[in-house]
């Protein structure tokens, strides 16, 4: 999954640039500019809000120990989603 996360945004950006270049003189230009702005804004928001959280999670590392408080926090989701109860 890490490889996709590093590859998908540059490919998406390249495709948006190509689409803008080929559709610049058409009415689609405005829609593509909006899509590009949303893409860039989403990247900025993800970088500002999600990246620090991901860094903290990676810094903790993997542990086989089960946190009882976290397990109790997950119980309500098991009650409304029967598929989760089958997972264990």
Give residue-wise pLDDT tens across range 68-85.
887 777 766 666 666 655
pTM for this entry: 0.60
Per-residue pLDDT band for 64 (boundaries 50, 70, 90) equals confident
The answer to whether 33 and 20 are in contact (CB under 8 A) is: yes
Nearest alpha carbon to residue 13 among 30, 35, 31, 28: 35
Task: Determine the pLDDT at residue 24.
Answer: 94
User: Under 8 Å CB-to-CB from 85, ≥6 apart: which residues?
Assistant: 78
Domain extent, residue 80, equals 2-87
Based on the structure, what is the number of domains in the chain? 1
Please provide residue 24's backbone torsions phi and psi, each rounded to the nearest 5 degrees: -65, -35
Residue-wise pLDDT for 21-40, tens only, equals 999 999 999 999 999 999 99
Take residue 63 and report the two structure tokens written for it: 């542990």
């Amino acid at each position: 999954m890490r490889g996709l996360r590093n590859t998908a945004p540059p490919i998406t950006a390249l495709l948006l640039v190509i689409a803008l270049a080929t559709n610049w003189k058409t009415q689609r230009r405005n829609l593509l500019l909006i899509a590009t702005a949303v893409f860039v804004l989403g990247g900025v928001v993800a970088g500002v809000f999600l990246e620090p959280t991901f860094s903290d999670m990676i810094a903790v590392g993997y542990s086989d120990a089960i946190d009882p408080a976290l397990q109790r926090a997950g119980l309500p989701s098991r009650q409304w989603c029967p598929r989760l109860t089958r997972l264990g």
